[in-house]
Amino acid sequence: MEPSEVLFLCTADARVGFGHLRRCLTLATRLDRAGVRVAFGGDLDAAAREQLRAALPQAPFGNDGEGAPLAVLDCMFDPQDPDHYDLDFLRAVAVRHERVVLVTSSIRVPPDLPVTAVVGHVLEPVARPIFTLYRGLEWAPVAPEAATWRDAARDFPDTPRRVLVAFGNWADPAGARLALEALDRTGWPCSVQVLLPPALRPHLPALARAAGRLAWEVQTDVPSVFPLLHAADLLVGSYGNLTFEALALGVPSVVVAIKPFMHAYAARLAALGALINAGEVGDLTPSALAGQLAALTVSTRRALGQRGRALVDGQGLARLADLLLQLRNAGLPPAPHLPQGSRISHT
């Protein structure tokens, strides 16, 4: 077997990371179709490895990709703090690969990360980075599939008729339970789809009690979230990859932070008029959240949808795939934002 050319390193388990894995699978599939030999590594649990085998059965997992010239990292080094970067780990990766791309979403990035490039929705400028930085909402990690659904006409009914509840692969059901209780209190005659990750399956009985009189159903192991988003008049969920996908499709979104950092991140997008930042889950009651939901008039929801589509064009992962193809050939295009840092060598 010929050696791998690009190694994807990510983390996905019952606590965190299936959004990271889904992004890497999207990128790896595009590269594989372009004739690039890809491999995977990192801390992937059994469910994550099953997804990997189903999507890319030909991609080796483990040590087979260690000699790849290009490594792509999509990891959250601390599940509670996206601004934390494991420098020792990054240095170890840099020693083994000629070029390293870090895919990230954080408020601040240290300027001395030992990588070739940093790509993502980085909220604050980086002064004199030693890597090349690709920063902005145009790099928000939205799969190219969004283009299929993005241009469809979107209706804004008097009250939402279909609501999607999605809180990521987090074992604590507090966010989903709060959302269901609040939606029940609105009295909206809506149907509710709950995107249920593996970590929340044991909590189905508690979620059923929280749903009360709602007409609701569970969606699990979906091959794509875009049909669910396209059908939704409103998304209620945590901050994450789905947030950007909803923005790209113009779906009005209400973010309930299930981790403290999510509140700070959502506040930045709320300040741009892109979504509603409801607050942290521990600070909200069902009645308080129901009040925020009931205040979403037709004009408010329409403005949120239009603003989201204007800010996020849905081409973020397509851009990143093109960048990786260029880096695979050892070329590094100039960063479109901010003064460039010098490229570092890992030889």
Task: Burial-class residue 26 by CB neighbours within 10 Å (0-12, 13-18, 19+).
Answer: buried
pLDDT confidence of residue 217: 95
pLDDT grade for 342, boundaries at 50, 70 and 90: very low
pLDDT confidence of residue 303: 98
Query: What does the pLDDT average to over 34-54?
Result: 86
Distance of alpha carbon 253 from alpha carbon 242, whole angstroms: 10
pLDDT grade for 341, boundaries at 50, 70 and 90: very low
pLDDT grade for 64, boundaries at 50, 70 and 90: low
H-helix segments, the chain: 18-33, 46-55, 87-96, 146-150, 174-186, 204-211, 226-231, 241-249, 260-271, 286-294, 298-311, 316-328
Is the pLDDT assigned to residue 195 strictly greater than 90? yes
> Which of the residue ranges 46-50, 138-142, 161-165 would you say has the lowest mean pLDDT?
46-50
Is the pLDDT assigned to residue 65 strictly greater than 50? yes
Mean of per-residue pLDDT scores for the chain? 88
DSSP 90-159: HHHHHHH-SEEEEEE--S---TT-SSSEEEE---S--SS-SSEEEESGGGS---TTHHHHHTS-----SS
Is the pLDDT assigned to residue 335 strictly greater than 60? no
pLDDT confidence of residue 299: 97
Is the pLDDT assigned to residue 340 strictly greater than 60? no
pLDDT confidence of residue 1: 57
pLDDT grade for 137, boundaries at 50, 70 and 90: very high
User: Which one has a higher pLDDT value, 121 or 292?
Assistant: 292
Query: What does the pLDDT average to over 201-212?
Result: 94
Query: What does the pLDDT average to over 10-26?
Result: 76
Is the pLDDT assigned to residue 15 strictly greater than 60? no
CA torsion through residues 264, 265, 269, 275, sign: negative
pLDDT confidence of residue 56: 87
pLDDT confidence of residue 343: 33
Neighbour count for residue 105 (Cβ, 10 Å): 22
pLDDT confidence of residue 42: 83
What's the whole-model pTM score? 0.87
User: Which one has a higher pLDDT value, 135 or 15?
Assistant: 135
Is the pLDDT assigned to residue 220 strictly greater than 70? yes
Is the pLDDT assigned to residue 331 strictly greater than 80? no
Nearest residue to 195 (alpha-carbon basis) of 156, 223, 161: 223
Share of the chain above pLDDT 70, in %: 92
User: Which one has a higher pLDDT value, 197 or 100?
Assistant: 100
pLDDT grade for 332, boundaries at 50, 70 and 90: low
Is the pLDDT assigned to residue 337 strictly greater than 50? no
Share of the chain above pLDDT 90, in %: 63
Cα distance between the two ends of the chain: 25
